C-alpha cells in the first residue's frame, strides 16, 4: 500500500452518504461524476492539469484497515453492512481523464468517474485536494516560466509551502509546467525533479572574510559553483571577491546569485564587472520574492539575468491561492443501463452544471493551433471533414461556422472495471508534453492581461439536453 494514501483523509459526509446509500439500497447504483473547475487562477487564459498520477495511485491502492473500520464503528452512526463494505473496499469502476500536463479550461471535465455510488463518493475528497493543488501550482509555474522567456526558473519554495505535501507535490507540479528544478531534495528522490542548491548567507558569515567563504566553496564544488554575493556589499565586495576567486581557481563556468536589492540595477553592474574581467561565461541568478510580474518587469528593464529562483509566490500561488475544482454528479444509470442525465441548478450561472456522460474534443486550426474545445455526449463523433458551428464565448448569441480544422478527443481511459489500463508516463515525458501543448495555444490566449477567451462550447445535442433540464427544473 502506498504510505502516502491515507484512507480516512476524506470529508466525513462522504461516509454518511455512503452509509445512507447502503441503507437505502443505492450503493450499487452506477453514477457518473465529473471533476472540473469554474475559474482560472489569476484571471489567466488557461490552467495546467496536474496531479493525475497521484490520484491514480490513490484509487489503485485504496484500502481500509481494521483500525479505520473500528474508528468508523466508534462513531455510533454507521451500520454493519456499510462497515463490511468499507472493509472489503476495492474500486471496480471506470475512469477517464485528460492527460496530465494538458492546458485546460473552465467547465470541461478533467476527470470522469463511472462507478457504484459508494465507490465514487469515497474518492471525492482526495481527488479534489490532489488535482486542485497540483493544477494550481502548475498553472502558476507556467505563468512564471513564460514570463522568464526561456531563462531557467528554479522552484525555491519548500520553506514557505503550506505543509509537507504542498512542498513535495508543489515541486513536482512546478516541474511539469517548465521549472528547471527544485530546492526540495525529496522531490528529486521520489520523482526525479532535479534538485539544486548553492549556499546561504550563513555560509559566508561562517568565514572570516567573504573571499575565504567563496574560495572554500569553489574548492569543494569546482564544477559550476554559484556564490551568493549580497551578504555584505554586492558591488563593493561581493562581486569583486567572486571575480577574484573565479580567476584564481580558473573557473569560467559558474555563477553568482543575488537575493536582495534592486535586481535590475545590480545585475547590469555585475554583468559589466564580470565581462570586464573576462568572465563572460559566469551566469547571474536572482531570487527574492519574485513572481511573473516582477520577472517580466526585470526583463523589460534590460536586467542581465540568466536564471530565476522563485519561492513563496510560486509554491503558494500567492496572488490567487485556490484552484476551485469541484466534483459533481452528471448522470446515473437505471436498472436497464440507460444513462439518465442529472443537473444542478443555481441562481449563480457558473454553478449550473453540464449534465450527462460526456467526452471532449479539442479543435485545431489549419496552423495546428488549438482554438476551441467541444463538450459532446459520450457517443457523439465529430467529423472534422464537415463544417461545424460553435458559439462565440464572448457573445453566446453569436454563432461561428468553422471549416478546415482537426478534431482530437482529449480524454483517455484510465481504469476499466477497476483495473488500471493507462500507461502512466514518466514525469519528464509529462513535462515535455505540457510544454508542447502550451505552445499549441495562440499567444493571445497566453496573455497575462485580458487573455483572449478560448472557445469551450457544447455540442447541439448536449446544449439541447441541458436547456431542457433547466427549463424543467424551473417549471418553465
Q: What is the pLDDT of residues 308-341, one digit of tens each?
A: 999 999 999 999 999 999 999 999 999 999 999 9
Nine-digit cell string for 457: 462550447
**Inside any domain, residue 269:** yes
Query: How confident is the model at residue 7, as a pLDDT?
Result: 87
For residues 384 and 303, the model is more confident at 303
- Average pLDDT, stretch 5-19? 92
Query: How confident is the model at residue 282, as a pLDDT?
Result: 98
42: left (phi over 0), alpha (psi -120 to 50) or beta: left
Considering only 182-186, 207-211, 403-407, which range has the smallest mean pLDDT?
403-407
**Confidence band for 393, pLDDT divided at 50, 70 and 90:** low
**Inside any domain, residue 297:** yes
- The boundaries of the domain holding residue 207 are 150-315
**Confidence band for 476, pLDDT divided at 50, 70 and 90:** low
Query: How confident is the model at residue 389, as a pLDDT?
Result: 84
- Contact at 8 Å (CB) between 69 and 119? no
**Inside any domain, residue 168:** yes
Query: How confident is the model at residue 2, as a pLDDT?
Result: 53
Nine-digit cell string for 179: 521549472
**Inside any domain, residue 115:** no
* pLDDT exceeds 60 at position 397: no
Q: Provide the pairing of β-strand 370-377 with 455-458.
A: parallel
**Confidence band for 391, pLDDT divided at 50, 70 and 90:** confident
Beta bridge partners of 339: 333
Query: How confident is the model at residue 30, as a pLDDT?
Result: 98
State how far the Cα of 34 lies from the Cα of 131, in Å rounded to an integer: 13
Share of the chain above pLDDT 90, in %: 91
Chain mean position to CA 324: 12
* pLDDT exceeds 90 at position 475: no
**Confidence band for 401, pLDDT divided at 50, 70 and 90:** confident
Task: Give the angle subtended at the CA of 102 by the CAs of 98 and 104, to the nearest 5°.
Answer: 80
- Average pLDDT, stretch 396-410? 84
Nine-digit cell string for 245: 576567486
C-beta neighbour count of 54 within 10 angstroms: 23
**Inside any domain, residue 445:** no
The structural domain count of the chain equals: 1
Say which residues have a Cβ less than 8 Å from residue 64's Cβ, sequence separation at least 6: 7, 8, 86, 87, 89
**Inside any domain, residue 452:** no
pLDDT 10s digits, 163-176: 999 999 999 999 99
- Average pLDDT, stretch 226-244? 98
pLDDT 10s digits, 404-423: 999 999 999 999 999 999 99
Please provide the average confidence, as pLDDT, over all residues in the chain: 95
Q: Provide the pairing of β-strand 152-155 with 307-310.
A: parallel
**Inside any domain, residue 448:** no
- Residue 296's CATH number: 3.20.20.70
**Inside any domain, residue 2:** no
State how far the Cα of 371 lies from the Cα of 441, in Å rounded to an integer: 7
pLDDT 10s digits, 342-374: 999 988 888 999 999 999 999 999 999 999 999
C-beta neighbour count of 263 within 10 angstroms: 26
Query: How confident is the model at residue 113, as a pLDDT?
Result: 98
Query: How confident is the model at residue 1, as a pLDDT?
Result: 40
Of residues 224, 172, 177, the one with CA closest to residue 194: 172
Query: How confident is the model at residue 31, as a pLDDT?
Result: 98
First to last CA, the chain: 52
Query: How confident is the model at residue 283, as a pLDDT?
Result: 98
- Average pLDDT, stretch 216-223? 96
- Average pLDDT, stretch 122-135? 97
For residues 143 and 387, the model is more confident at 143
**Confidence band for 396, pLDDT divided at 50, 70 and 90:** low
Say which residues have a Cβ less than 8 Å from residue 189's Cβ, sequence separation at least 6: none
Amino acid at each position: 500500500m502506498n504510505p502516502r494514501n491515507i484512507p480516512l483523509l476524506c470529508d466525513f459526509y462522504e461516509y454518511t452518504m455512503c452509509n445512507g446509500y447502503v441503507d437505502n439500497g443505492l450503493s450499487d447504483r452506477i453514477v457518473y461524476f465529473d471533476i472540473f473547475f469554474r475559474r482560472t487562477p489569476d484571471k489567466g487564459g488557461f490552467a495546467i492539469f496536474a496531479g493525475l498520477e497521484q490520484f491514480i495511485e490513490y484509487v489503485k491502492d485504496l484500502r481500509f484497515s481494521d483500525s479505520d473500520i473500528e474508528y468508523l464503528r466508534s462513531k455510533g452512526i454507521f451500520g454493519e453492512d456499510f462497515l463490511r463494505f468499507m472493509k472489503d473496499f476495492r474500486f471496480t469502476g471506470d475512469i477517464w481523464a485528460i492527460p496530465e500536463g494538458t492546458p485546460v479550461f473552465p467547465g470541461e471535465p478533467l476527470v470522469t468517474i463511472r462507478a457504484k455510488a459508494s465507490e465514487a463518493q469515497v474518492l471525492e475528497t482526495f481527488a479534489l485536494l490532489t488535482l486542485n493543488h497540483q493544477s494550481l501550482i502548475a498553472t502558476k509555474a507556467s505563468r512564471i516560466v513564460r514570463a522568464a522567456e526561456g531563462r531557467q526558473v528554479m522552484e525555491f519554495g519548500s520553506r514557505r509551502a503550506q505543509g509537507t505535501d504542498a512542498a513535495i507535490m508543489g515541486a513536482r507540479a512546478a516541474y511539469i509546467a517548465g521549472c528547471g528544478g527544485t530546492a526540495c531534495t525529496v522531490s528529486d528522490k521520489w520523482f526525479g525533479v532535479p534538485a539544486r542548491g548553492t549556499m546561504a548567507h550563513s555560509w559566508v558569515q561562517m568565514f572570516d572574510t567573504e573571499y575565504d567563504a567563496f574560495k572554500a566553496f569553489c574548492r569543494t564544488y569546482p564544477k559550476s559553483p554559484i556564490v551568493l554575493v549580497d551578504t555584505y556589499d554586492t558591488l563593493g565586495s561581493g562581486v569583486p571577491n567572486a571575480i577574484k576567486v573565479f580567476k584564481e581557481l580558473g573557473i569560467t563556468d559558474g555563477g553568482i546569485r543575488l537575493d536582495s536589492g534592486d535586481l535590475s540595477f545590480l545585475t547590469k553592474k555585475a554583468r559589466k564587472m564580470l565581462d570586464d574581467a573576462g568572465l563572460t561565461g559566469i551566469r547571474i541568478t536572482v531570487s527574492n520574492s519574485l513572481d511573473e510580474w516582477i520577472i517580466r518587469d526585470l526583463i523589460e528593464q534590460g536586467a542581465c539575468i540568466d536564471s530565476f529562483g522563485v519561492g513563496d509566490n510560486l509554491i503558494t500561488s500567492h496572488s490567487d491561492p485556490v484552484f476551485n475544482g469541484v466534483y459533481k454528479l452528471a448522470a446515473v444509470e437505471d436498472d436497464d443501463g440507460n444513462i439518465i442525465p442529472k443537473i444542478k441548478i443555481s441562481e449563480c450561472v457558473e454553478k449550473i452544471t453540464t449534465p450527462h456522460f460526456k467526452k471532449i474534443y479539442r479543435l485545431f486550426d489549419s496552423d495546428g493551433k488549438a482554438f476551441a474545445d467541444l463538450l459532446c455526449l459520450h457517443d457523439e463523433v465529430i467529423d472534422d471533414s464537415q463544417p461545424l458551428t460553435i458559439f462565440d464565448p464572448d457573445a453566446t448569441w453569436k454563432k461561428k461556422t468553422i471549416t478546415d480544422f482537426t478534431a482530437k478527443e482529449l480524454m483517455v481511459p484510465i481504469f476499466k472495471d477497476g483495473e488500471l489500463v493507462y500507461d502512466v508516463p514518466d514525469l519528464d515525458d509529462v513535462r515535455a508534453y505540457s510544454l508542447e501543448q502550451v505552445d499549441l495555444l495562440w499567444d493571445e490566449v497566453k496573455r497575462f492581461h485580458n487573455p483572449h477567451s478560448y472557445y469551450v462550447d457544447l455540442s447541439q445535442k448536449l446544449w439541447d439536453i441541458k436547456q431542457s433540464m433547466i427549463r424543467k427544473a424551473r417549471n418553465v
